[in-house]
Every structure is written in C-alpha cells, then in structure tokens.
Amino acid sequence: MSHPAVPLPPDEILVAGEWRRGTGAASETVDPADGGVITEIHHATADDVDEAVRRGAEAAASPAWRDLLPHERARHLHRIADGIERDADRLANLQTRDTGKTLRETSALVASAAGTFRYVAGALETFDDELTTQRGPSLTMSVHEPIGVVGAIVPWNSPVASDAQKIAPALAAGNAVVLKPAEWTPLVSLALGRIITDSGLPAGLLSVLPGAGSVVGEVIVTHPGVGKVSFTGGTSTGRRIAHAAAEKLMPVSLELGGKSPTVVFEDADIDAAINGILFGIFSSSGQSCIAGSRLFVAESLRDDFVERLVAKTRALRVGHGLDPLTQVAPLVHHKHRDSVAQHVERARAEGGRVLTGGQAPEGAAYERGAFYLPTIIDELPNTAATCQEEIFGPVLAVLGFKDEDDLVAQANDSAFGLACGLWTRDYRTAWRVARRIDAGTVWINTYKQFSSSTPFGGMKESGLGREKGRGWIAAYSRQKSLYWGLSDSPHPWAG
Ligand code: NAD
C-alpha cells in the first residue's frame, strides 16, 4: 500500500529550548514495516546533556517559572494539550512509521498524551499544601517544592504517551525536564518537543536529547545537576539506573518489565475472556509491559478454550500499521523481531508445542517488514525460561492450575509483578485472588485499561513508584515542613 507523506521533524535536537543539530553521530530511524530509512537524526552528546541540565536548572529557578502560581502553570499544560490535539493526526502517523504500531493504537496514545496534560493540569489546580494538626505552640505546614531538573528516560514502545506521563507532572511540580527518547524511536518525542516549545513554555525548561542509553542516558542519570530520574524501560536497565541513583542518593522512579498472568476460571464468560486475552497479548504485537503473556486456564475448560483461542488467533489480521484493518502490526525493529523469534526457538527447545504462529508471516507484503505471527505455546511448565522471561512480543504461553492455591503460587512464581487479568463471574473469587497476586494492577473481566486517576506501577522487579493519580505531582516534588511560632514569650531553655 502507498503511505501518505508525514512531515518529518528536521535533524535537530532540543537543548534547553534551543533547536539545533546534535553534536553526536548521525543515526538512521527505520520504518519497521518495510525496513526503509525514514530520516536521520544526529544524537546528543555528554556536552549537550551538560548544557541542557545547566540551563534547565537556571530556567527552573527563574522567577518566570518558579513564581508562577499553580493555576498559571496549569494554563501552560492546557496549551500543550491543545497543541497535541491540533497535531494529533501527524503525531499518530509519525509514531506509526517510527514504531510500526497500528494507527488505531498510536491515535489512542496521542489522545492519552493530551489527556495526561489535561488531567495533571486539573490536579495541579487542587494540589494543596497541607496545614497539619497543631501539637504545640506552632502552626505547622507541609509544602511541596520543585526538585529542579528531572531526567526522563523512556523506551520505544509507546513514546508519546510515556513522554507525557513524565513531562506533565514534572513541569506541574515546577521542574525543568531533560527527556531522552529510545534510540529506535526519537521522532515523535522530537515532534512533541516542538509542540511544547511552540506552546510558549518559558525557554530552557525542556530538552529532548536522542542518543544511546550508554551515553546520553548514563550522563543524565549520573549528572550532579539532575535531582530525580523517572525511567520506563527494561528491568536490567532499571537496576543499573537504581545503582547509579544510590551513589547520588537520588530519588528514582522505575516502570519496568512484566510477565503478567491472565486467569480464566471455570465460570468465566468465555467470549469476553477470549477477546480480552487476545487484546491483552497481541495488541501492540505484544510489545507492552503489561502484556498478558502467561495464560492460566481452568483444567475443565482448557482443551475447548485453547482450541477457540487458537482459531481466533489465526484469524487476526497481520499487516501494515496504516491499514485500518490491521490488528497485529510489525514489531518495532528487525533486530527485535529476531530476538522474539529466538525466544520462540528456545521455547521449542524447552519442549514447548507451538499451537499457532512461531514464524514470520509469508508473502510479498511481509517480506521486508519486521513482522511476526501471533504465537501460542503449550506444554511448558511455569518454571520454563519462556514463562519466566519477558519476551516483549506476540507470544502467549498456556498453563494450567489445580486449584486456587496452586494458581496463586504459580502466578506469583515470577520475578515480575506488574499486572494480572482475572476472568470470572464470581466477585468473591475475583476479590480473593486479586488480593493475593503480586501485581501493581489487576483487571477483572477486562484487560489493558488505563485511567489517569488510577495509580500505575509495578511490584517486585516490575518497578518502584507509581505514575498517575493524585500522587503524580507529589512524586516530582520535594516536601518541606514549616513551623510558624505562635508563642509570645521567649523559649524558657535559655533562661
Ligand atoms: P531499555 O531498558 O533497553 O531502554 C529504555 C530506555 O533506557 C532507552 O531510552 C534506552 O536508551 C535507555 N537506557 C539504556 N541503557 C541505559 C543506561 N545505562 N542508563 C540510562 N539509560 C539507559 O528498554 P526498551 O527495550 O527500550 O523497552 C522495553 C522495556 O521497557 C520492556 O522491558 C518493557 O517491559 C519496559 N516497559 C515498561 C513499562 C512500564 O510502565 N512498566 C512501559 C513500557 C515499557
């Protein structure tokens, strides 16, 4: 199919409000649907990071930003949301080209980015400092202050939405932000940066610095001027960042990987469960931290359920992200597709039986793209590497369970604890199991739903801290206590 031209961001990075060519090496961004080069972006260097942090700190300390009242800062956030909404089609198209995702998904991510700015703006208007209960001759208060410069490091799977989830609360709290997009997908973050600078945000408050994690990312994390890092990405990178943060005693929030269990109980609404499970693992081609990649099915249902699931999986439309009928788009990069394929080979070597998929689709339309068929694997125990490691692709492992205790033990036998899905008509079963599973989010008779007002984050190796909800802005603030002495007489201690 032919694709409409999308205006591409120029080869410029954003250093504290100033657009200019990066002083690092040129890097090609590739369209995963056909392997073609989209454009070239020169990366940032350590010097660019240093300048971004230094000038970001100045901008955050300037009265033009520091002295704004919450409702005035909220106005800036609304203006950014207006800009995102105005440019929604272009952003979604750009993100589809850069990440391969379907236009339906990228449009939803763009809408979510605008929604994030609006929710945070609203929350900021009612982000109250606190008068604490008086317990002595002082009036006591707890107030929030900006941290200064926040480093925001994001992965390639949902850039515009994950960028917004860090930029909006960090700005709301009065900080400057240095954003580092992933190497494979810098384009939509640069386009978002342009919208933000055009919105009239005081110069210097935002930098967008594409580059390698080992260069730009590490310099952001270790820079003495960066007071917090908010990271979304893989668990091993998160652990490395946590070590570096410990050296500086810097707060860090980590949204990491997952291997989320989805459970179908005997009394489940089968049609709803099948659709929810397919959406949970195969939308975004499984490149989702919350993908429901381990499926536990009650023994009495298992054969029929799996047969129906396989039949529906085979009917999913694999294709180009711009084709409105596509359900499963290419993976983000050919290298990532090859890594998913290797995971499936290992599953076979472990004794897994591939019920469907297990290879790239055949045919001229798929030849040059990073496609992989939605894959279901049976006959592996939960202890197999396939069921323990995050694959981050369209690969589902089917497992069984004897009873509720066995289910909980297997579901929790994982290094991760990000999400879980439960399909049952019995609210008591759902309540009991939801409370016993190690997961930051449990979906009951639904899956992969998000709300800005509901905290999101992981347990165990899925992360530290929460995004969204009423605590969102506080997470980017420093807390300070004020004591206002009320006594008219001098303190008796000094006589
Ligand atoms: P990644 O960890 O390889 O990279 C994420 C970001 O970190 C990139 O920008 C990368 O350049 C940067 N980075 C790499 N090494 C770094 C270092 N030493 N110091 C600083 N920055 C560094 O992850 P990825 O492959 O881009 O993304 C996939 C992972 O992200 C998956 O594990 C997925 O589960 C996770 N993820 C988690 C969530 C969540 O909210 N929990 C959401 C989306 C993705």
Q: Which two tokens stand for residue 367?
A: 């030849």
* Dihedral angle sign, alpha carbons of residues 414, 417, 423, 424: positive
Asked if residue 252 and residue 379 are part of one domain, the reply reads no
CATH number at residue 355: 3.40.309.10
Ligand 1 atom nearest residue 181's Cα: 9
Nearest CA to ligand 1 atom 31: 234
Mutate to test the pocket of ligand 1, among 43, 208, 236, 237 (most ligand atoms within 8 A of CB): 237
Whether 289 is a known active-site residue: answer yes
Nearest CA to ligand 1 atom 10: 213
DSSP characters over 108-123: HHHHHHHHHHHHHHHH
Beta 416-417 vs 395-401: how paired, if at all?
unpaired
Rounded Cα distance, 221 and 376, in Å: 39
Does the pLDDT value for residue 340 go beyond 90?
yes
Does the pLDDT value for residue 333 go beyond 70?
yes
Confidence of residue 5 (pLDDT cuts 50, 70, 90): confident
Confidence of residue 2 (pLDDT cuts 50, 70, 90): low
Task: Kindly give the distance from the C-alpha atom of residue 257 to the centroid of ligand 1, in angstroms, as a whole number.
Answer: 9
**Residues lining ligand 1, CB < 6 A?**
153-157, 180, 182-183, 213-214, 217-218, 221, 232-234, 237, 240-241, 255-258, 289, 390, 392, 418, 458, 463
Asked if residue 201 and residue 291 are part of one domain, the reply reads no
DSSP characters over 48-70: HHHHHHHHHHHHHHSHHHHT--H
Q: What is the pLDDT of residues 83-120, one digit of tens each?
A: 999 999 999 999 999 999 999 999 999 999 999 999 99
Rounded Cα distance, 207 and 45, in Å: 13
- What number is the average pLDDT over the span 459-488? 97
Nearest CA to ligand 1 atom 18: 214
**Residue 54 pLDDT:** 98
Nearest CA to ligand 1 atom 42: 289
Is 283 a member of any domain? yes
Residue 65's φ and ψ, nearest 5 degrees, are -115, -45
Confidence of residue 236 (pLDDT cuts 50, 70, 90): very high
Asked if residue 233 and residue 331 are part of one domain, the reply reads no
To the nearest whole number, what is the mean pLDDT of the chain?
97
Is 422 a member of any domain? yes
Asked if residue 247 and residue 232 are part of one domain, the reply reads yes
Q: Is 416 helix (H, G, I), strand (E, B) or coil?
A: strand
Ligand 1 atom nearest residue 234's Cα: 32
Exactly one of 105, 183, 255, 461 is catalytic; which is it? 255
Non-local (6+) Cβ contacts of 322 within 8 A are 1, 3, 4, 33, 93, 96, 103
Q: Which two tokens stand for residue 198?
A: 């055009």
Exactly one of 105, 289, 461, 468 is catalytic; which is it? 289
Rounded Cα distance, 154 and 166, in Å: 9
- Full domain range(s) for residue 291: 261-444
Which position has the token pair 């990069």? 333
Task: Kindly give the distance from the C-alpha atom of residue 15 to the centroid of ligand 1, in angstroms, as a whole number.
Answer: 22
Q: Which two tokens stand for residue 226?
A: 């960066």
Task: Kindly give the distance from the C-alpha atom of residue 106 to the centroid of ligand 1, in angstroms, as a whole number.
Answer: 19
Does this model's pTM top 0.85? My answer is yes
Is 63 a member of any domain? yes
Whether 255 is a known active-site residue: answer yes
Does the pLDDT value for residue 142 go beyond 90?
yes
Is 457 a member of any domain? no
Is 491 a member of any domain? no
Task: Kindly give the distance from the C-alpha atom of residue 133 to the centroid of ligand 1, in angstroms, as a whole number.
Answer: 42
Asked if residue 325 and residue 311 are part of one domain, the reply reads yes
Ligand 1 atom nearest residue 221's Cα: 20
Domain count, the chain: 2
Asked if residue 371 and residue 246 are part of one domain, the reply reads no
Spatial CA neighbour of 112 closest among 206, 188, 202: 188
Spatial CA neighbour of 102 closest among 331, 258, 289: 331
Whether 299 is a known active-site residue: answer no
Mutate to test the pocket of ligand 1, among 154, 162, 289 (most ligand atoms within 8 A of CB): 289
Asked if residue 469 and residue 339 are part of one domain, the reply reads no
Q: What is the pLDDT of residues 388-429, one digit of tens each?
A: 999 999 999 999 999 999 999 999 999 999 999 999 999 999
Task: Kindly give the distance from the C-alpha atom of residue 155 to the centroid of ligand 1, in angstroms, as a whole number.
Answer: 4
Confidence of residue 1 (pLDDT cuts 50, 70, 90): low
Please classify residue 411 by burial: count the beta carbons closer than 10 Å to its beta carbon, then call 0-12 exposed, 13-18 middle and 19+ buried: buried
Asked if residue 276 and residue 377 are part of one domain, the reply reads yes
State the greatest distance between any 2 C-alpha atoms of the chain, in Å, as a whole number: 92
Q: Are 289 and 258 in contact (CB under 8 A)?
A: yes
Does the pLDDT value for residue 4 go beyond 80?
no
Is 435 a member of any domain? yes
**Residue 122 pLDDT:** 98
Non-local (6+) Cβ contacts of 135 within 8 A are none
Asked if residue 389 and residue 325 are part of one domain, the reply reads yes
Task: Kindly give the distance from the C-alpha atom of residue 405 to the centroid of ligand 1, in angstroms, as a whole number.
Answer: 34
Q: What is the pLDDT of residues 243-268, one digit of tens each?
A: 999 999 999 999 999 999 999 999 99
Ligand 1 atom nearest residue 257's Cα: 34
Rounded Cα distance, 104 and 24, in Å: 34
Task: Kindly give the distance from the C-alpha atom of residue 154 to the centroid of ligand 1, in angstroms, as a whole number.
Answer: 6
Asked if residue 341 and residue 277 are part of one domain, the reply reads yes
Asked if residue 283 and residue 223 are part of one domain, the reply reads no
- What number is the average pLDDT over the span 47-66? 98
Is 103 a member of any domain? yes
- Give the count of beta carbons closer than 10 Å to the beta carbon of residue 189: 27
Q: Which two tokens stand for residue 316?
A: 């999913």
Asked if residue 283 and residue 172 are part of one domain, the reply reads no
Q: What is the pLDDT of residues 193-223, one digit of tens each?
A: 999 999 999 999 999 999 999 999 999 999 9
Exactly one of 105, 228, 467, 468 is catalytic; which is it? 467
Whether 467 is a known active-site residue: answer yes
CATH number at residue 179: 3.40.605.10
3-state helix, strand, coil split of the chain in percent (to 5) is 40, 20, 40
Is 26 a member of any domain? yes
